[in-house]
Amino acid sequence: MVREALILLSENSLARRVATGAPGARTLARRFVAGETVEDGIAAARRLNQAGMSVTLDYLGESVSQRAEAVAAADTYLRMIDRIAEERLDANVSLKLTQMGQDIDDAFLRQNVGRILDRARDVDMFVRLDMESSRHTQRTLDFHRGVWNEGYRNVGVVLQSYMRRSMDDARAVSALGARVRLCKGAYQEPAEVAYQEKAEVDDNFVALMKVLLTEGTCPGIATHDEAMIRATRQFVREQGIASSACEFQMLYGVRRDLQTALRHQGYKVRVYVPFGEAWYPYLMRRMAERPANLMFVVNAVLAESPLRFLVRNRNQS
- Active-site residue list: 130, 181
Q: Is the distance from CB of 272 to CB of 58 less than 8 angstroms?
A: yes
Q: What is the longest distance spanned by two Cα atoms in the chain?
A: 68
d(CA 94, CA 154): 12
d(CA 77, CA 97): 13
Helices first, then strands: H and E counts in the chain: 14, 8
Q: Is the distance from CB of 313 to CB of 62 less than 8 angstroms?
A: no
Task: For residue 99, give Cα distances in angstroms to 82, 222, 278.
Answer: 20, 22, 11
DSSP 92: E
Q: How many residues does the chain have?
A: 317
Q: Over 121-167, what HEC string results?
A: HHCCCCEEECCCCHHHHHHHHHHHHHHHHCCCCCEEEEEECCECCHH
Report the candidate in 139, 150, 128 with the shortest Cα–Cα distance to residue 101. 139
Give me the helices (H) in 2-136, please: 2-10, 13-21, 25-29, 38-50, 67-87, 106-122
Using alpha carbons only, give the angle 280, 283, 288 rounded to the nearest 5 degrees.
Answer: 125
d(CA 154, CA 312): 52
Q: Which residues pair with 248 in a beta bridge?
A: 221, 269
d(CA 296, CA 251): 15
Give the end-to-end CA distance of the chain in Å, rounded to a whole number: 32
